Amino acid sequence: MNWFERLLGKKEKSGATAKQRLQMVLIHDRADVSPGLLEQIKDDIIEVIAKRLEINPDTVVVNLDNTAQESRLVAEIPLLHSNGRRRAAVQ
């Protein structure tokens, strides 16, 4: 959005919305991983990690990330009692 539209408090333009939606849907299409499968993988990861470490399942984030060349699964799993200074990132 440009300065003028922000000034008028306008909504985001539909072209920009289209681009964002496309980027999201293509991440899943390209990796052939549906949002539902991602949820299941997340639950599995939580189960495995929780056996060994103390975590809060609500803070776990599992995402797909991709470029034109590759797709990767990125999991972020904050550990409890770490004062936010330490985080385990599994890729």
Smallest gap from residue 33 Cβ to another protein (A): 14
**Can you tell me the distance from the alpha carbon of 51 to that of 10, in angstroms, rounded to the nearest whole number?**
49
**Can you tell me the distance from the alpha carbon of 45 to that of 55, in angstroms, rounded to the nearest whole number?**
11
Q: Which stretch binds another protein (CB under 8 A): 11-19, 39-47, 53-61, 73-81?
A: 11-19
Element spanning 71, H or E = strand 71-78
Question: Tokens 């499968």 identify what position?
Answer: 37
Under the binding rule (CB under 8 A), the answer on residue 6 touching another protein is no
Q: In the range 50-69, which residues lie near another protein by CB under 8 A?
A: 68
Contact 79, 55 (CB under 8 A): yes
Q: Is the dihedral of CA 7, 8, 11, 13 positive or negative?
A: negative
Q: Which is nearer to another protein, 68 or 80 (CB)?
A: 68
Q: Which is nearer to another protein, 19 or 72 (CB)?
A: 19
Under the binding rule (CB under 8 A), the answer on residue 29 touching another protein is yes
What are the residues binding another protein (CB under 8 A)? 2-4, 13-16, 18-19, 21-23, 25-26, 29-30, 68
